Every structure is written in structure tokens, then in C-alpha cells.
Amino acid sequence: MIGAGFSDLFVFRSIFGPENAVWVTFVPAKPAQPLKLCNCSRLITVKIGLFFGSFNPVHTGHLVIANYMATQTDLDRVWLVVSPQNPLKPRKTLARDHDRLHLVRLAVEDNPLLKASDVEFSLPKPSYTVDTLSYLKEKYPEHEFVLIMGGDNIATLDQWKNYHQLLEGYYIYVYRRPHVESGALASHPHVRMFDVPPLDISATYIRDCLKKGQSVRYLVPDPVWEYLESGNMYRGD
Ligand code: ATP
């Protein structure tokens, strides 16, 4: 017997298990409250969008995407996965891993649908998305993971390690980028396209502003702005 109020917190989701057995699972309903474990020993499946980035630093453009995906799609949560080292980017301008993670934590602390993830910090470097996904799938077998990326990324996905495995094994939610063709892979059956209001902000621009002593207020969430104002991050060479 399930207690009163259960249906406010969880919705049914059925998934096909091995040998076509149907598992009935419960998924936290949105708007999310912190996940509560019920005393019924059922499997909880949460559909999690993974938004990878250097977040050097995290900015409002990132958060608009993350919040859109967490609220306007069937995703239950979005994790902002801080990459310790993007194999396609130079390391010179990268702030320390834990500083970038701290900023992401500050950015999402008031939103229960968003979470900062440091999962890649303990994985072999450089970190490749396909390896991180395999690790997460094994660590959280009850979760379904979906990749979130921009139209610019899907256009060049064929340069990523084992991209076929990514496309076949996972859904990819793509937000269109202005003036960018999403390319042939955008029509793959596992790719879903979304129109998110574009914000023309980049971490590069924010780093430049900070280096010149210019304000980045409103370009980053307030707690991130306050932290950056009070310290020296991105101000030196
Ligand atoms: P940099 O300027 O240092 O290259 P960035 O702002 O592009 O950094 P990343 O951490 O590399 O930030 O971004 C993570 C992901 O977010 C990337 O896939 C990137 O394309 C995307 N992204 C960055 N800025 C925006 C934005 N304003 N709107 C939508 N997506 C963005």
C-alpha cells in the first residue's frame, strides 16, 4: 500500500528489461524536491541530462540551456559535468578543476533540478564523453543518461571518440546554435532538436572582462559574480 501523497512525488514509468520483462519504475515528478527514498523497495529511474563543459567559468548561457532542458523536456535532472581537461582545448587558460567546480556549485545551489558533477575528476585523463558515460551507466544502472549538446557539437560529433557508440547507445538532446548548421548527424533517430533562446555569452568573453577589470555582473549568476569579485580568479596572466 502506497501512502497518500506518493503520486504527487512520483510518476509511473515502465521500461523494458531483459527478455522483454516490463519493469515498472517510479520517477520523481517535477517540480523537483530533493530526492526522497520511499520505504517501498522499488527501483527509481531518473532521466538525467548530462551537460559537459569546461565551465571556465560557468555563465548564464550555460544555465539557460541547463534549466531549459530540465524544465521543458522529459529530463528529470541536468548534471553540469565539469571536465578536467577537454582534449580539444588548450590547458593554459583553464582555471583549477576545483575552482571551476566550486563556481558551478555556486551557480546551481538554489536549483534542485541542476547539479554540479565532478565525476570526470577521478577518471583517466583526457576525459572522453563515451568513457564517462560508460562509467556512469555502470555506477547508476537505475538512471537513464541523455547527452546535451549544442548544434555546433553535433555538427562535429564524427570527430569524437567512438561517436557511433554514443549515437547508438544514448539519446542526444541538441539545442540549435544561431547561424550554425547542425549537420547530417542531427537527423539520427536518437537525436532530438530543441530551440532554446540564444544568449551570446562565452567563457572566453568573461575571462577577458575579468582580466581587464570589467564587470561580469548578470553575465554569470549572482553568487558566481560575488565570488569572482572577491578574489583573483582570471585576473592574472
Ligand atoms: P570558452 O569560451 O572557454 O570556449 P564556453 O563558454 O564555450 O567556453 P564551455 O565550458 O566550453 O564554455 O561550454 C560547455 C558547452 O556549453 C559547450 O558545448 C558550448 O558549446 C556550450 N555553450 C557555451 N556558451 C554557450 C551559450 N552562450 N549558449 C549555449 N551554449 C553554450
CATH (domain of 190): 3.40.50.620
Ligand 1 centroid distance, CA of 62 (Å):
7
Q: Is residue 173 part of a domain?
A: yes
| Residue at 24 is within a domain | no
If one residue of 202, 219, 220 were mutated to test the ligand 1 pocket, choosing by the most ligand atoms within 8 A of its CB, it would be 202
- Total domains in the chain come to 1
> Is 46 contained in some domain?
yes
Q: What is the pLDDT of residues 210-228, one digit of tens each?
A: 999 999 999 999 999 999 9
* In the chain, % of residues over pLDDT 70: 78
User: For residue 3, is it within any domain?
Assistant: no
This prediction's pTM: 0.83
Mutate to test the pocket of ligand 1, among 50, 51, 52, 54 (most ligand atoms within 8 A of CB): 54
CA distance 138 to 135: 5
User: C-alpha grid cell for residue 221?
Assistant: 549568476
Average pLDDT over all residues of the chain: 85
Ligand 1 centroid to Cα of residue 105, in Å, is 17
Residue 236 placed within a domain: no
Domain that holds residue 85: 41-229
DSSP string, 54-84: --TT--HHHHHHHHHHHHHSS-SEEEEEE-S
Sheet strands side by side (includes 47-53): 114-117, 77-82, 47-53, 144-150, 171-175, 191-194
pLDDT digits (tens, 9 = 90+) for 69-105: 999 999 999 999 999 965 556 667 889 999 999 999 9
- Residues 220, 59 contacting (CB under 8 angstroms): yes
Distant-in-sequence, close-in-space partners of 212: CB < 8 Å, separation ≥ 6:
none
Half-sphere exposure (Cβ direction) of 150: Cα atoms closer than 13 Å: 16
Q: Which atom of ligand 1 is nearest the CA belonging to 83?
A: 10
In a domain, 31, yes or no: no
Residues at CB less than 6 angstroms from ligand 1: 53-56, 61-62, 65, 149-150, 152-153, 199, 201-204
Ligand 1: nearest atom to the Cα of 199:
27
115-137 b/e (C-beta count within 10 Å ≥ 16 → b): bbbebbeebeebbbbbebbebbe
Q: Which atom number of ligand 1 is nearest to the Cα of residue 86?
A: 11
The number of the ligand 1 atom at minimal distance from the alpha carbon of 201 is 27
Residue 149 covered by a domain: yes
